[in-house]
Amino acid sequence: MDVSHKFCAHAFDFDMLLPNLDPRVEFCGYSIPHPSENKVNIRVQTTGDAAKDVLKDSLQDLILMCQHVRFTFDHSVSDFILSPSYQEMNTDT
């Protein structure tokens, strides 16, 4: 199966979109037609599964990764704010 998709690009790194970890993916790539256009072409070639389904699964995995990174970051910031190191730095004298 070989399908091309078009998306609007808003400062997004598509290298993370379809990492070569999915055995259903034979090839994936992207191109930006022109820097002034807000478009990205994505090509997904699979071993037989519908490229649309593989792309959708990969996007869902990407959302989960982003949520995990955000949660981990927020948790670390909270821990730091409560730490003695932060309390010593944040003295209003």
DSSP string, 66-91: HHHHHHHHHHHHHHHHHSHHHHHHT-
pTM of structure = 0.63
Q: What is the pLDDT of residues 32-41, one digit of tens each?
A: 888 898 888 8
93 lies in some domain: no
Q: Provide the number of structural domains found in the chain.
A: 1
64 lies in some domain: yes
37 lies in some domain: yes
27 lies in some domain: yes
47 lies in some domain: yes
51 lies in some domain: yes
CA-nearest of 90, 72, 69 to 81 is: 90
22 lies in some domain: yes
Tell me how long the chain is: 93
Q: What is the pLDDT of residues 48-93, one digit of tens each?
A: 999 999 989 988 988 999 999 999 999 999 999 998 888 888 766 4
The number of CA neighbours under 13 Å toward the Cβ of 67 is 6
56 is in which domain, residue-wise? Answer: 2-84
52-71 as b/e: b if 16+ CB within 10 A = eebbeebeebbeeeeeeeee
